[in-house]
């Protein structure tokens, strides 16, 4: 017996934790998908020396944020500071910590004690025992850049429906080919001298591309649709 972690059981626990969170927080599907990639990449680290509920979450660009996972929750990232006044808001790093801790709770005890499994033995008929289906029936690995930094997204699903939902959730996270999303936006039409040109095209709060909007008076701005209205990235 060893205490090594069964990777398939751990992946199943992560998938179950993500599915539960997506059902409870459909409005946070994109942030949950990105948080899940942080957990899958092993970027969530329990820092017991800081406190029983303190974690360090490593970002794809090499930076790290410190998260306190119990009330009052907190994170050192800019996203958390930008929503300091929003009651109940959870930044991407806090969501990653919650997925990580929930997956740990879902792990079955045998997954820690019975790994690695015993070698397969031939059956009485001389054939090998049937093996269980792997954790990820559907899997897709995407490589590209995120805000100009090299990144990799792994999308998995137990069923076709779950897999397609996860694919849809991560759309827009990676930069378009040829450069960051902000560099691929169409050039705005020249504005009149009395109207300042629109600036920005990427919402750092929700991590997605915004659409250029034009008012009847010639004013321009970027925004994107949210369940409760429009966000201008501020």
- pLDDT band at residue 167 under the 50/70/90 scheme: confident
Residues 160 and 205 in one domain: no
The larger pLDDT score, comparing residue 187 to residue 52, is at 52
Residues 193 and 150 in one domain: no
Q: For tokens 């040829």, name the residue.
A: 178
**Exposure string for 166-188, b = 16+ CB within 10 A, e = fewer:** bbebbebbbbeeeebbbeebeee
Q: What is the pLDDT of residue 135?
A: 58
- pLDDT band at residue 178 under the 50/70/90 scheme: low
The larger pLDDT score, comparing residue 118 to residue 87, is at 87
Look at residue 124 and tell me if it is in a domain. no
The overall average pLDDT reported for the chain is: 77
Give the chain's domain count. 2
Q: Is 36:18 a contact under the CB 8 Å cutoff?
A: yes
Give the predicted TM-score (pTM) of the model: 0.46
Containing structural domain, residue 197: 185-231
Tokens describing residue 56: 């360090």
Q: What is the pLDDT of residue 119?
A: 57
Nearest-angstrom CA–CA distance, 200 and 81: 20
Residues 144 and 59 in one domain: yes
Residues 61 and 151 in one domain: yes
The larger pLDDT score, comparing residue 191 to residue 105, is at 105
Q: What is the pLDDT of residue 37?
A: 94
- pLDDT band at residue 213 under the 50/70/90 scheme: confident
Q: For tokens 């970002």, name the residue.
A: 59
Q: Tell the burial category of 159 from Cβ atoms under 10 Å away from its Cβ (0-12, 13-18, 19+).
A: exposed
Tokens describing residue 196: 């300042």
Look at residue 127 and tell me if it is in a domain. no
């Amino acid at each position: 017996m060893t205490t090594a972690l069964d990777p398939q059981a751990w992946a199943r626990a992560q998938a179950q934790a993500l599915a539960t969170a997506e059902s409870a927080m459909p409005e946070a599907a994109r942030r949950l998908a990105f948080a899940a990639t942080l957990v899958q990449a092993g970027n969530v680290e329990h820092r017991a020396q800081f406190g029983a509920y303190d974690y360090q979450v490593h970002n794809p660009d090499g930076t790290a944020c410190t998260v306190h996972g119990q009330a009052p929750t907190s994170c050192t990232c800019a996203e958390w500071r930008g929503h300091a006044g929003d009651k109940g808001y959870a930044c991407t790093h806090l969501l990653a910590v919650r997925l990580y801790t929930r997956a740990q709770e879902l792990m079955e005890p045998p997954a820690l004690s019975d790994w690695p499994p015993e070698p397969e033995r031939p059956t009485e008929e001389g054939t090998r025992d049937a093996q269980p289906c792997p954790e990820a029936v559907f899997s897709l690995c995407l490589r590209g850049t995120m805000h100009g930094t090299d990144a990799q997204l792994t999308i998995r699903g137990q069923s076709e429906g779950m897999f397609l939902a996860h694919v849809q959730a991560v759309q827009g996270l990676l930069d378009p080919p040829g450069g960051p999303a902000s560099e691929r936006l169409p050039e705005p039409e020249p504005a009149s001298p009395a109207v300042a040109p629109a600036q920005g095209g990427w919402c750092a709060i929700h991590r997605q591309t915004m659409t250029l909007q034009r008012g009847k008076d010639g004013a321009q701005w970027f925004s994107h649709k949210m369940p409760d209205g429009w966000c201008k990235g501020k």
